[in-house]
Structure 1
Amino acid sequence: MMTSAVGGRGDAGSAIGERALVDLSAITRPVGRLVATAQNGLEVLRYGGLETGSVPSPFQIIESVPMYRLRRYFPPDTRPGAKPAGPPVLMVHPMMMSADMWDVTRQDGAVGILHRAGVDPWVIDFGSPDKVEGGMQRNLADHVVALSEAVDTVKAVTGRDVHLAGYSQGGMFAYQSAAYRRSKDLASIIAFGSPVDTLAALPMNLPASLAPVAADFMADHVFNRIDIPGWMARTGFQMLDPIKTAQSRLEFLRQLHDREALLPREQQRRFLASEGWIAWSGPAISELLKQFVAHNRMMTGGFSVHGDLVTLSDIDCPVLAVIGEVDDIGQPASVRGIKRAAPKADVYEFLIRAGHFGLVVGSKASSQTWPTVAQWVRWLDGGGQMPEGVTPMPLRPAEPSESGVSLTSRLAHGATAATEMAFSFARSAAGALVSANRSARTLAVETARTLPRLARLGQVNDHTRISLGRIMSEQARDAPQGEALLFDGRVHTYEAVDRRINNVVRGLIDVGVRQGARVGLLMETRPSALVAIAALSRLGAVAVLMPPDSDLAEAARLGAVTEIITDPGSLEAARTLSMRVLVLGGGESRDLHLPEDADVVDMEKIDPDRVDLPGWYRPNPGLARDVAFVAFSTISGELVARQITNYRWALSAFGTASAANLSRNDTVYCLTPLHHQSGLLVSLGGAVVAGARIALSRELRPDRFLQEIRQYGVTVVSYTWAMLREVIDDPAFSLTGSHPVRVFIGSGMPVGLWKRVVEIFEPATVVEFFATTDGQAVLANVAGAKRGSKGRPLPGGGEIALAAYDPEDNLILEDDRGFVRRAETNEVGVLLAHPRGPVDPLASVKRGVFAPADTWVSTEYLFRRDEDGDYWLVDNRAAVIHTARGPVFAATVNDAVGQLGAVDMALTYAVPAGSETLAVTALALRPGGSVPSADLSEALADLPVGVAPDIVHVVNEMTLTATYRPLAGPLQAEGIPKASRNAWYLDADTHRYKRLTTAVRSEIAGNR
C-alpha cells in the first residue's frame, strides 16, 4: 500500500515536472535565440562579420613593383630531395575585386584545392589603386602588360610554361595578355565567365544596338572624369542580381542566431559584403567601355596595348572556358565568342550550373570547378585524362538561341518561382518590345548618323571652306585621343597625326611652298603619304598624285608640277625629273646618300619649331570650288589629268561614309593606293569624315592580309578592280574561324570575283561605287544584291539622267521638240549629270538638253537603268566595239560571263581582222575552273543590250595596272586568239559557241 501510494504520487510528480520543463524551454529557447542573435549581431556590427578562426593560406611575395605584387602560395620546399612543385597556375582577379578571392577559405578556396591536387598556385595582386600612388590613373593596357611581365617571372622561377587563369575581367586580361605575347611561355588559358563577344549577350539582356552608343558616351563624358570606389563596385555587382542579393541577406538574418550554421559560409559572405571590393580607376573603365563594349575589339581585333595593336587570333595555346549556365554577367553566348576570336587555339568548355561568382567561390566551385581545373592542368602536363565534362567548344552552339541566359535556367535558379517569373516576364516583355521595334531603331540610328553628313553636304556651296585638312583638324579637336591611323602594328591618335601634319606644313612653308602651288606626290602608301596629302590641303596647295607606273615626266607636265614630294623608296624615280625633290618619311635617322649637287631637300631635318609662320598663312583655306588634287587616268593609252575640287572630294567622302554606314566603330583597311582616286576619295575620304580608324598596309601581300585584318580589327576593306583576286587565289590563303570584316568598298570588282568574295567572307557584303572624276555623277550599289550593278545615285549627290543613245551612229537622240530624249527602261543611254560646283575644263558640257538653257555635263559613259531603277554600266562611249553583227558593249559582256562560276575575271576588247573588227572576250578562270561551251552559249544568249562577242578564249593571266585593272593592250597585240580547246567562236548559223580550230581561225582572219 505504502509502495503503491508512493509510486502513484511519483508518476504524477514526474508528469508535472516534464510539463514544467516543457514550459520552461518554451520560454528559454526564444530568449536564448534572441541572446545569440544579439551577440552575433553585435559581433557583425563591430567587426564586419563573425570570427571564423580561419587562417589564410601561406604565400611568399616573389616580386613587388608599383603595379602589382606576385604571390606564390604554399612555397615549395627547396631542400635537396624535396618533392618538386607541380605545374604553375597564375590566377588573375578582376579590377574591382581583391586578389584574396582565390583564398576566401583555406579548405575550399582555389589555391588550397589546387595545392592539394599537386598544382603550384600563383596569384597576381594588383592591389587597391586608390591606395597606390598613381593607381587611379591606371588603364587596361597597364594591367595587360603587368600580367605579361608576371608570366615572365613565373616562367623564370619555375622553368615551366604557365597556365593563366582569370575570373571575369581577369579572364579578359588573360586573353589579352596571351594575345599581346602571342602565347609565348603559356601552357593554357583558363577563363571563368569571361566575356569575349561582349555584344552577343549583355548583362540583363540589354539591347546590343544601344550598347556601343551608351558605352561611348559613358567613356567620353563620365568615366574620363570620375573613378569608382570600392563600395560602388560592390553595390553595382549586387544590383546586377538584386533578388539573389536580397535573398542572401534575408537568409543571413534568419540564421543569425545559429553561429555553427553561418560559419562555413561566413568568409564568402564577408568577402562579397565588404572585404572583397576595391576601387576601379576611371581611365581603365573608360578604356574597357570604349575598346571592348563600344567597339567589341576582343572579337574584331585591333585593340591597343600601349600603342601596339593586338588580336586574340594570335592565341594558339589551349583554352578552357568555364561557363555558368545561369551566369547573367558572363553570359554563355558572350563567353563562347573565344572560339571564333581565336581560330588557331584548341578551345574547350566546361559547363557548370552556377551564377557568376559561384563559378570560382562556393560549394560548386570547390566540388566541380577547381577539381576540374586541376585535372585539366595535369592532363596538359601529360599526367592524366581529360577532365570529365570538358568538351571541345562548338563553333556554332546547338542552342536555338543564345541571346542570353534562358528563362528556364533563371526560374530553376531563383528562390521563388513567383518573384523570378515576374522578373523574367518584365524582361521578356521588354525584349519583345525591343524586337518589335528593332527595324525602327536601326533606321533611327542610321538616320541619326547619316543625316548630319548629308545636311552638311547640302550646305556646301562654292564659297564653303571644306577640305581634307579641315576635316582632319575637326576630328583632332573633337577626339584628340581617338585612334586615327594604324600602321606596322602601331596606333597613332588624331592628336598625334594632326601634330605631324602641322609640322609638315611648317616644313613646306620653310622651303617656299605657298598656297595654290602644284606639288607632285610620288610616294608609296605610308603614313607619310597621308600626312603629306593632308598637309598640302591644310596649306591650300594642290597635291598632284603621280602614279608610279606611269610616264612621270608626262604626269608632271600635265599637272603643272613645280616640285615633288617623295619618300626614300621613290627618291631615285623622282630625281629623274628636272625639279626640286622634297623627301619626307622613312625615319629621321636615315641617310639618303645624295651627291652634293643634288637638288634634294630632306624635310625630316627641318625643325618645325624654328619655322616662323608668314602673315599670309591661314590653315585650311580651301574653298569647295578650289582644285585640291590632280589625279590621273589612262584613256586609250593616253595619260589624262583630272582636277578634283574640294567639293568633289567632300561629295565622295561624305557619300561613302553614308552609303557604307561608316562610324567611329569602324576600321577601314586602305589597300587602295592613295594616288588612285578610289583610295583618296573613297577609302581615305570616307574614313576621315566618319572618324573611323585608317589602317594602312605597306603593300597587298596575301600572306599578310588575314593577319592584318585581325590584328587591326578591320571592319571595312577597300579595293579597286581585281585587287582581291590576288588574295583569295593565293595557294596559302585559308580563312578559318571568324573575321571582323563587314563590308568591302571600292569600284570595278568583276562579277565573278564579287561572288567569290561574298561567299568566302560571309556575312560581309560589297558596296560598289561608280564616280566620274569630276564628281558630278556618283552611284553606289549599297544593297549588294545585284552583283555587277552600279546601284543608284548617292544620297546628297547631284541629279543625273540617261540620254537616249544610238550606238550605230554614235548620236544622242532627240524628241520631236528638239530636246534630248530620256532613255527608256533597259535602253542604252549616255549618263548626264546636272553640275554642282565648278565644272572640269575638259568636261563635255551641253546646254538646252531637257529644257531651254539648262546645263548638263556628259560623262561619256553608257548605262542602262533596269525596272527597279538600278544603273548598269554598259561601256565607255568611245570604246564601243562596232562589229558587222552590231555593237558589242564590253561591260555588259563581262558581267554576263562573270556569272559563270568558274570565271574570275573577263575582259572584252577589239581586234582588227582584215576589213572588219572582231570583239574578243578573254576569261581568267578561278583555280581548277573550266567553262563548257554550252554554259558559255547560254550566258551570252540573251544579253540585255548589244550583241555577243565573236570569240571567247581562256588566258593564263592578264596584265594588270598598279590598281589591278586588266589591260587590253597586251592581248590586242597578240591579235586573233590561237586555236585551242579553251577558245570558242560564235557560229553565225546556230548562234552557239563552238571550238575554235585552226581552219576556222584562218577563215575568220580572212573575213570568211
Structure 2
Amino acid sequence: MVGRVKEGMRSLVRHSPGVSGLVVGLVLGPVLWWLVCALWLVLLVLAGVAAAGLAFLVSKKGLRMRDVRMLVGGVRIQLYLKNADRKNTTVDQLWESTVAWRGRGAPAFAHVDSGEYFTFGQMDDAANQVAHWALDAGLEPGTIVAVFGYNRPRYIAVWLGLAKVGVRAALVNTNQTGDVLMHSIAVSGAQAVLFDAALANVVAAVRDELRGLHSDVLLACLDDDAADELARVDGASAIGWSSLSIKPVPAESRGYARGVKTRDPLLYIYTSGTTGLPKAAIVTHFRYLTAASAFSIFAKVTPDDRVYTVLPLYHSAAGMIGVGMVLYGGAMMVLRSKFSASRYTADVVKYDVTIVQYIGELCRYLLAAPAHPRDADNSVRLAIGNGLRPDVWSKFKTRFGVDRILEFYAATEGAAAILNLEDKDNSIGYISQPLQAILPQQIVKFDRMTEEVVRGPDGRCIAVETDEAGEFIAKIIKFKSGATNYSGYTSSTASSKKVLKDVFKQGDAWFRSGDLLKRDDEGFVYFVDRIGDTFRWKGENVATSEVAEVCARFTDPAPLECNVYGVTVGEYSGRAGLVAIVGASPDAFDFTGFAAHIRTHLASYAVPLFLRFLPAMDLTGTYKHKKVQLRDEGIDPEYVPDIYFLSGNTFVPLTPKLHADIISGGVRL
C-alpha cells in the first residue's frame, strides 16, 4: 500500500506543472506518506491487541477456538443482515444481484430427471415470465398463490418470479390430497393455485371445495403441453410460458416499489404434520436472507460448489438452505425429483457434486442399498442436514467418502439454529457462549409427565445441568422496526402456543422448540426426542428415538427401519412400547435373538412389549415417520395384522385370547 501511495505521489508530481508541482512534491507527498505509515502502525497495534486479547480469553477464560469461529461467522451474518434490513433488501433483489456477479451464462440448476440445465440468466428469464403472468392476472402485492409441484428448476423460478412483484407463495406438500390439501390451502389464504400437470387429478378432486373458498379462484397449470390433464380441472388454464415475456419487470411494478418490505412474508412453508394437520409457517424475506447467508457462510459455499438435493423444495431444508446456497453463495444446485438410493452415487459422480443435503432416514436407506464401486470415489466435501442417528453416522461418512458432516438443528418457524461446525460425531451442534449476546438460546428443565417447563420458586425457568435433557428455547428479539426474529404461523393461536413468557425475567419471550436436547460439558448438543414422541411407562420416561436406535442395530451393518411409539393397554397407566419394523418377513425374523438384543441394550422399562410388521413406512414429505395413526390403531389383533407380544424370551403372535388376557390383567406386563 505504501508503494502505491509513493507511485501516486510521483504521478501527481509528473502531472503538476511548475511551482505547484514542487509544492505537491515537497510538502503534500511526504505528509500523505507519513499519514499512511501512521495508519498502518495503528492497524498493527490494534491487531496485536486483538490477538493478545484473544489469546488471553482462550487461555484464561475458557474461550475455545470453535467459539471464535462461531463468533466470526455470527458477526459476518449480522453485518450482512443489518445492511439488508437498512436497505430493505428482498430475496428477489438478492437473486438479481447474484445473477449480475455470477454472470448470466454461469450454470445455476441442473435437473437430473429431465437432463435440463438452467443458467443464472435462463432462470432469471423464467422468473420474469412468472412475474409477468402474475401482473397480467391482476395479482396485487400481498396476494398468496399456492404452488403445488415437484422438484424441478421451474418450481424455484415460480416463487422467485412471484416475489419480484410482491406476491407470496404457499409451498404445498405434494403428498397432500383431499381434506388435508384443502386445509393447507385454506390456512394460507391462497387465492390462486399453480400446479404441475402430474397433480391435475389431485386438484380436480378438490375443485368444488376451492370454489367454496374463493368463487373466482385462479387455477393455472405449470405445463403448457398437458391438454389432457388440464381438461380434468374445470376452469383451469395453462400458464402459457411461450407467450410470456422474459424482459425484466418495470421498476414501478416491482414488489419493493409497491410497498413490500424485508420483514414482509415471502413464503409459507408447512410443518411436516407428524402430529396433526400441517401449520403454515411464515417465512419473511428477512428470515430467508438469514438462512441463506448463515448456511452459505458457515458451509463456506463458493461458486465452485455443486449442491445435490433430493429433498422436497416445498420444505425449508431444500427450499431455503439448499436454494439459499445458490442465491447467496452462487453455487450450482443439482435437483432430483425424488430420492433414489440406487442412483445416488451415479448422480454424485456424474455431476461432480461437492455438497449433499440429507435427512437422517435417507442415509439409512443409502446404507441398505447394494454397494457401488464409486460410493467413496467422489468430490463430496460436505454433507449437510439433520436427523442423522448415531448408528448410521460413521458408517454413512465412511462408505460414501464424506469429508465432513454439518448436522444442524433448526425449525422453519423458529428463532434460532444450532450447527455442528466441528464435525463432532453424533452432535447436532454447539451452543457458543459468546454468541449468546447476539442470539440467546438455552436448554431448560422440562417435566415430561406434565409436558411443561419446570419453574423455580421465583417463577422463572431453570437451565439444565450437563447431560440433562430439557426443552430447547430461543429468545425472541424485538428489532427497532417492531418486527421480531420469530415469524410464527398464519394462525395466531398456533403462533402463541410456541411462545414461552417470563422465562428468565419479567416480560421476556422465548420460542419453544418442542424438542428435548441435552448438552455435554464441552457445550456440544445432542438430540434426545420430540416432546410428543416421549411416553411414560412403569413410572419412567421412554425416548422413542433412543429405543429405535437400539432396535435398528439388531441387523448391523444394514440397520432395520424401525418406528417406535407408545400404545395404551387396558387400564395400565402410561403407554407400553411398540416397535414397528418395515420390510422384514415374520417367517424369517429371529424373534428370540431380537428379544435378547433389546433386553441387553435397553432398560427394562424401555423394552418394547409389542412388535408389528409393516410393508412400508408412512412418511412425511421430509421422510420422518408418522406416528399418530399407528398409535391410534393400538394393539387389537382384530384390526392390526402381524402383531406380536414379548412373552418370556421371545415374541409370540398376539392372538385375540392373549390380547383379552392382557387387557383384563390376566397376563401381567
TM-score class normalised by the smaller sequence:
0.7 to 0.9
Among residues 640, 645, 650, which one is paired with 2:289 in the alignment?
650
Task: Tell me by how many angstroms 1:718 deviates.
Answer: 1.4
Is the aligned partner of 1:941 residue 2:570? no
Instruction: Say if 1:506 and 1:608, in contact at 8 Å, map to a contact too.
Output: yes
Q: Against the structure 1 CA distance between its residues 923 and 767, is the aligned structure 2 distance closer, same or farther, given a 3 Å change threshold? A: farther
Where does residue 3 of structure 2 map in the other structure?
Answer: none
Structure 1 Cα separation of the partners of residues 662 and 650 of structure 2 = 13
What amino acid maps onto 1:892 in structure 2? E
* 1:401-423 deviation per Cα after TM superposition (whole angstroms, max 9, x unaligned): xxxxxxxxxxxxxxxxxxxxxxx
Is the aligned partner of 1:959 residue 2:618? yes
Q: Against the structure 1 CA distance between its residues 908 and 461, is the aligned structure 2 distance closer, same or farther, given a 3 Å change threshold? A: farther
Structure 1 Cα separation of the partners of residues 451 and 108 of structure 2 = 48
Instruction: Say if 2:476 and 2:509, in contact at 8 Å, map to a contact too.
Output: yes
Consecutive unaligned residues of structure 2, counting only runs of 5 or more, are 1-64, 212-216, 478-483
Among residues 551, 563, 567, which one is paired with 1:907 in the alignment?
563
Instruction: Say if 1:753 and 1:905, in contact at 8 Å, map to a contact too.
Output: no
Is the aligned partner of 1:806 residue 2:447? yes
Where does residue 566 of structure 1 map in the other structure?
Answer: 195
Where does residue 552 of structure 1 map in the other structure?
Answer: 181
Where does residue 285 of structure 1 map in the other structure?
Answer: none
Structure 2 Cα separation of the partners of residues 609 and 695 of structure 1 = 24
Q: Against the structure 1 CA distance between its residues 740 and 554, is the aligned structure 2 distance closer, same or farther, given a 3 Å change threshold? A: same
Among residues 255, 269, 274, which one is paired with 1:631 in the alignment?
269
Greater C-alpha Rg: 1
Task: Tell me by how many angstroms 1:684 deviates.
Answer: 1.5
Is the aligned partner of 1:494 residue 2:120? yes
Task: Tell me by how many angstroms 1:912 deviates.
Answer: 1.7
Structure 2 Cα separation of the partners of residues 737 and 630 of structure 1 = 37
Instruction: Say if 1:952 and 1:983, in contact at 8 Å, map to a contact too.
Output: yes
Structure 1 Cα separation of the partners of residues 246 and 289 of structure 2 = 32
Instruction: Say if 2:461 and 2:503, in contact at 8 Å, map to a contact too.
Output: yes
Structure 1 Cα separation of the partners of residues 316 and 102 of structure 2 = 27
* 1:445-483 deviation per Cα after TM superposition (whole angstroms, max 9, x unaligned): x99995785244452686653443222111111111332
Where does residue 519 of structure 1 map in the other structure?
Answer: 145
Greater RCO structure (CA 8 Å; 6+ sep): 2
Is the aligned partner of 1:825 residue 2:454? no
Structure 1 Cα separation of the partners of residues 285 and 84 of structure 2 = 11
Structure 1 Cα separation of the partners of residues 612 and 404 of structure 2 = 30
Where does residue 482 of structure 1 map in the other structure?
Answer: 106
What amino acid maps onto 1:767 in structure 2? L
Is the aligned partner of 1:713 residue 2:367? no
Q: Against the structure 1 CA distance between its residues 507 and 525, is the aligned structure 2 distance closer, same or farther, given a 3 Å change threshold? A: same
Instruction: Say if 1:672 and 1:683, in contact at 8 Å, map to a contact too.
Output: no
Instruction: Say if 1:825 and 1:866, in contact at 8 Å, map to a contact too.
Output: yes
Task: Tell me by how many angstroms 1:519 deviates.
Answer: 0.7
Q: Against the structure 1 CA distance between its residues 970 and 805, is the aligned structure 2 distance closer, same or farther, given a 3 Å change threshold? A: closer
Secondary structure of 1:913's aligned partner: coil
Structure 2 Cα separation of the partners of residues 980 and 499 of structure 1 = 54
Structure 2 Cα separation of the partners of residues 447 and 831 of structure 1 = 19
Q: Against the structure 1 CA distance between its residues 938 and 977, is the aligned structure 2 distance closer, same or farther, given a 3 Å change threshold? A: farther
Is the aligned partner of 1:471 residue 2:133? no
Q: Against the structure 1 CA distance between its residues 571 and 982, is the aligned structure 2 distance closer, same or farther, given a 3 Å change threshold? A: closer
Structure 1 Cα separation of the partners of residues 146 and 380 of structure 2 = 34
Task: Tell me by how many angstroms 1:636 deviates.
Answer: 2.4
What amino acid maps onto 1:745 in structure 2? I
Q: Against the structure 1 CA distance between its residues 452 and 553, is the aligned structure 2 distance closer, same or farther, given a 3 Å change threshold? A: same
Structure 2 Cα separation of the partners of residues 658 and 809 of structure 1 = 40
Q: Against the structure 1 CA distance between its residues 810 and 464, is the aligned structure 2 distance closer, same or farther, given a 3 Å change threshold? A: farther
Structure 1 Cα separation of the partners of residues 375 and 622 of structure 2 = 28
Q: Against the structure 1 CA distance between its residues 833 and 562, is the aligned structure 2 distance closer, same or farther, given a 3 Å change threshold? A: same
Q: Against the structure 1 CA distance between its residues 925 and 868, is the aligned structure 2 distance closer, same or farther, given a 3 Å change threshold? A: farther
Where does residue 617 of structure 1 map in the other structure?
Answer: 254
What amino acid maps onto 2:110 in structure 1? L
Among residues 839, 842, 864, which one is paired with 2:518 in the alignment?
864
Secondary structure of 2:466's aligned partner: coil
Structure 1 Cα separation of the partners of residues 327 and 584 of structure 2 = 35
Where does residue 679 of structure 1 map in the other structure?
Answer: 318
Structure 2 Cα separation of the partners of residues 948 and 599 of structure 1 = 54
Aligned CA-pair RMSD: 3.7
Structure 1 Cα separation of the partners of residues 291 and 608 of structure 2 = 35
With structure 1 as the length reference, what TM-score do the two structures score? 0.50
* 1:911-947 deviation per Cα after TM superposition (whole angstroms, max 9, x unaligned): 12112322223345899997644432232239xxx95
Structure 2 Cα separation of the partners of residues 452 and 665 of structure 1 = 24
Task: Tell me by how many angstroms 1:563 deviates.
Answer: 0.2
Q: Against the structure 1 CA distance between its residues 884 and 632, is the aligned structure 2 distance closer, same or farther, given a 3 Å change threshold? A: same
Q: Against the structure 1 CA distance between its residues 716 and 984, is the aligned structure 2 distance closer, same or farther, given a 3 Å change threshold? A: farther
Secondary structure of 1:672's aligned partner: coil
Where does residue 201 of structure 1 map in the other structure?
Answer: none
Instruction: Say if 1:874 and 1:892, in contact at 8 Å, map to a contact too.
Output: yes
Task: Tell me by how many angstroms 1:982 deviates.
Answer: 10
Instruction: Say if 2:442 and 2:472, in contact at 8 Å, map to a contact too.
Output: yes
User: What percent of counterpart residues are identical?
Assistant: 19
What amino acid maps onto 1:921 in structure 2? V
Secondary structure of 1:690's aligned partner: coil
What amino acid maps onto 1:966 in structure 2? H
Q: Against the structure 1 CA distance between its residues 736 and 761, is the aligned structure 2 distance closer, same or farther, given a 3 Å change threshold? A: closer
Map of 1:854-893 to 2, 5 A cutoff? 854-893=508-547
Secondary structure of 2:278's aligned partner: strand
Structure 2 Cα separation of the partners of residues 855 and 683 of structure 1 = 30
Structure 1 Cα separation of the partners of residues 606 and 394 of structure 2 = 24
Is the aligned partner of 1:536 residue 2:174? no
* 1:795-847 deviation per Cα after TM superposition (whole angstroms, max 9, x unaligned): 79732111211222333222233221111112232221111425324143233
Q: Against the structure 1 CA distance between its residues 809 and 969, is the aligned structure 2 distance closer, same or farther, given a 3 Å change threshold? A: closer
Secondary structure of 1:863's aligned partner: strand
Task: Tell me by how many angstroms 1:981 deviates.
Answer: 12
Instruction: Say if 2:444 and 2:453, in contact at 8 Å, map to a contact too.
Output: yes
Task: Tell me by how many angstroms 1:1006 deviates.
Answer: 3.5
Where does residue 785 of structure 1 map in the other structure?
Answer: 424
Among residues 697, 713, 718, which one is paired with 2:336 in the alignment?
697
Structure 1 Cα separation of the partners of residues 303 and 441 of structure 2 = 31
Task: Tell me by how many angstroms 1:559 deviates.
Answer: 0.7
Q: Against the structure 1 CA distance between its residues 996 and 887, is the aligned structure 2 distance closer, same or farther, given a 3 Å change threshold? A: farther
Task: Tell me by how many angstroms 1:714 deviates.
Answer: 1.1
Map of 1:123-162 to 2, 5 A cutoff? none
Structure 1 Cα separation of the partners of residues 228 and 626 of structure 2 = 36
Structure 1 Cα separation of the partners of residues 507 and 634 of structure 2 = 47
* 1:862-902 deviation per Cα after TM superposition (whole angstroms, max 9, x unaligned): 22222232222333334431323322222333344455535
Q: Against the structure 1 CA distance between its residues 833 and 589, is the aligned structure 2 distance closer, same or farther, given a 3 Å change threshold? A: same
Structure 1 Cα separation of the partners of residues 624 and 330 of structure 2 = 30
What amino acid maps onto 1:812 in structure 2? V
Task: Tell me by how many angstroms 1:543 deviates.
Answer: 0.9
Instruction: Say if 1:909 and 1:968, in contact at 8 Å, map to a contact too.
Output: yes
* 1:136-192 deviation per Cα after TM superposition (whole angstroms, max 9, x unaligned): xxxxxxxxxxxxxxxxxxxxxxxxxxxxxxxxxxxxxxxxxxxxxxxxxxxxxxxxx
What amino acid maps onto 2:460 in structure 1? F
Structure 2 Cα separation of the partners of residues 688 and 697 of structure 1 = 19
Q: Against the structure 1 CA distance between its residues 701 and 811, is the aligned structure 2 distance closer, same or farther, given a 3 Å change threshold? A: closer
Q: Against the structure 1 CA distance between its residues 933 and 541, is the aligned structure 2 distance closer, same or farther, given a 3 Å change threshold? A: same
Secondary structure of 1:674's aligned partner: coil
